[in-house]
Amino acid sequence: MTVARKFHPTNRLAKLIKTKGGMLVRDAIIAAEEGVEGLREASLVVLDETLAEIELRFGASASNRQAERFEDLYRLTMRLIDVSTFVSDAGVDQAAVSLAGVADHCAEVGAWRWNAIDVHLDALRLLRSVGAELPAADRQAMIDGLYRVSHR
């Protein structure tokens, strides 16, 4: 007959929790916020460069926009979403999500919806420049309008 043997492996996390030292939660939060704040300037540069590239390649005045790939607009829009954290009070992130929906729909049906793309680019430009100063109700009305356009 065999005897059941019980093993009690050491729980490293439990041991670390009981160990004195480390950092207080409030200090960790402050350090994390400072670390994120260090990314602000670089993120805003990427945001502006990406908006400029989208405008250059997919804007109303782009000479060869019909030849562009749906996936490229979607990829650039995802980059906007990635770096728009620092301007979330302007609504840029929400407008970019809506534009991503338009790009995705265009890829699904295999046809461009230039009017929808143009209105999104106009809104993104406006939100980037003065979105944070707009009354919240006006900004939300603009975002709601973009969502209606993107879901047609």
Q: Over its length of 152 residues, how does the chain's per-residue pLDDT go in tens digits?
A: 678 888 788 888 887 777 777 778 898 888 888 888 888 899 999 999 999 999 999 999 999 999 999 999 999 999 999 999 888 889 999 999 999 999 999 999 999 999 999 999 999 999 999 988 999 999 999 999 999 999 87
- Looking at residue 50, what DSSP letter applies? H
Q: Report pLDDT for 1.
A: 67
CA-based radius of gyration for the chain:
23
Kindly report the pTM of this predicted structure: 0.78
Per the rule left: phi > 0, alpha: psi between -120 and 50, beta: everything else, 110 is left
